[in-house]
Amino acid sequence: MARIQLLSPRLANQIAAGEVVERPSSVVKELIENSLDAGANRIEIDIESGGTKLVRVRDNGSGINEEDLTLALSRHATSKIVDLEDLEAVATLGFRGEALASIASVARLELLTNTADSGPGWRARGEGRDMRVEVDQVQHPRGTSVEVRDLFFNTPARRKFLRTEKTEFGRIDDIIRKLALSRFDVAFTLRHNGKAVHSLRAAPGQLEQERRVAAICGPAFMENALFIDQTRGALRLWGWIGLPTFSRSQADLQYFFVNGRVIRDKVVSHAVRQAYRDVLYHDRHPAYTLFMELDPAEVDVNVHPTKHEVRFRDSRSVHDFLFSTLHRSVADIRPGDSVASSAPITAAGDSQDFLVAPVSSVPLQGRIDGLARPASDWRAPTPAPGSVRTQLAGYGQLHHNDQLMPAMAEQDDREIPPLGYAIAQLKGVYILAENAQGLIIVDMHAAHERINYERMKQAFELQRITSQPLLVPETIAVSEKEADCAEEYAQVFNDLGFVLQRAGPESLLIREIPSILKGSQAEPLARDVISDLLEYGSSDRIRAHIDDILSTMACHGSVRANRRLGIQEMNALLRDMEATERSGQCNHGRPTWSQLSLDELDRLFLRGR
């Protein structure tokens, strides 16, 4: 082997650049994060040739002192951390102290800065094999400008892996969008080849913030989104979540920020999937723009060189907070809160066209005891004697009542229920109703299915989950780590009607399973739950299996197509929809109702033209 020798500064920086600078978008991200950490509230980005020819980022931040310019282009030099305590509670976006030095080693970098509102500024450039920094005086306003030209000019092997100009700029645009969402208080301007792409003003209020979100995520998202803001102890979650009917074929409209930093995290993704599990259609993905705030000491951002990943110190509490907040938020929406005047629209940019309802197909809470009672008279059903299956099997019955439909002409708009009053039944499948906005169309089987399903879940919870002992306990071989996990989370299993007992260092006994899962395969379910607990500190697989059975029973017990309903029955169904959680979607995630406003009906018939 060759003799050990010290690497040259340029080569060391180029090696470090391999972790930090993957492509032009990496340069843009690092420079903008520096601007944000410098307190800038206005950032301008100029790009040429997808960033390979030029990346220029100009800000009005605090600037860099003349005596610090040499260090600014050196490795392991930063103003953002001083000791280990700072590293354990990082409150800035950049802290590694390698970005500028790494960029300068693979491109031609020029930095101009000024810390004062008037007077001359300073320019710094790294030159030569040893990366010596040359500093001279120039005119520059307060703030910093960084120009990066000819990226990878001296590392052609890296340059050949870059994609087309359009693709590279698309990655830059995505970075800008994420950073613009992370900081509503900052104005962003983006130009490509001299053409303005984004001009986003600072957004201090919620209305301005919603406009920015609409500009970045698309107006369709904001028309189908719910704003949430919840706090539990030191945790706060706020932002916008898409309605279940506004789903995507890909997870391409999901933005999650932790203390202002955009991140990807398996705990977060799992909690969101769990929250939407009961309302999404097949393999669709929810859309959201969410912000979590917590003590910086409770999250480790020093997990990955690009700082895209984090590690929560108490991942279980974070998971529980996320799941409970989102699950409750989705369930608590009411039709009266969100009836829109727009017709169903197609998710913009979705690779598979998917009809989504306007901000209308949304959930509620209550029951449909045979469509007999209005929402205001809702009461939890009293469990009947007998087994759970016997108790739940009869909840799909329809009964007549004496509720009459008031004449719409005599009703003040404020007194008309959100889903209005039934006027007809179409082809034995749809209920047509008139509300204050126009026409409501309801898929009666899908709506009744959800109502029955929610009632069954409530009845099941009221009785609590009962266990059934196995005639012969089932032994499963596991790793010692999995056996330890089963012991640690024994109470979680017990609460779900699953009784596991450790039989040895690497074996478990399944002694009891939930009664409603009689006949199901217990071993793979137990293994999957243990896997979830090890990975996320939480699992809903047992409850998901129970819900699947209840869903099937609800489907079979719901009113079928071609069943003729009277006006009273149809109105009772509408009232129970208004009082039932998640009634905007059937058990399979399909919309249960949609709205056509009077304006849209007029457009169909060219009225007013």
Q: What is the DSSP string of 530-587?
A: HHHHHHHS---HHHHHHHHHHHHHHHHTSPPTT----HHHHHHHHHHHHTSTTTTB-T
Kindly state the tokens that stand for 148. Answer: 């990066």
Over the stretch 515-557, which tens digit does the pLDDT of each residue have?
A: 878 777 888 888 988 988 888 888 888 878 888 878 877 887 7
| pLDDT at 367 > cutoff 60 | no
Kindly state the tokens that stand for 75. Answer: 């490795």
pTM of this structure:
0.76
Domain 206-342 has CATH 3.40.50.300: no
Domain 364-609 has CATH 3.40.50.180: no
pLDDT at site 75: 76
- Quick check: do 9-200 and 364-609 share a fold? no
Domain boundaries, the chain: 9-200, 206-342, 364-609
Residue percentage of the chain with pLDDT more than 70: 84
Kindly state the tokens that stand for 330. Answer: 């989705």
- Identify which has the larger pLDDT, 351 or 109: 109
pLDDT at site 337: 57
Give CATH superfamily name and number for 9-200: Histidine kinase-like ATPase, C-terminal domain (3.30.565.10)
Kindly state the tokens that stand for 412. Answer: 């003040």
| pLDDT at 180 > cutoff 60 | yes
The Cα–Cα gap between 27 and 36 comes to: 14
- Identify which has the larger pLDDT, 220 or 356: 220
Buried b (16+ CB within 10 A) or exposed e, 331-359: bbbbbeebbbbbbbbebeebeeeeebbbb
- Identify which has the larger pLDDT, 483 or 553: 483
| pLDDT at 562 > cutoff 70 | yes
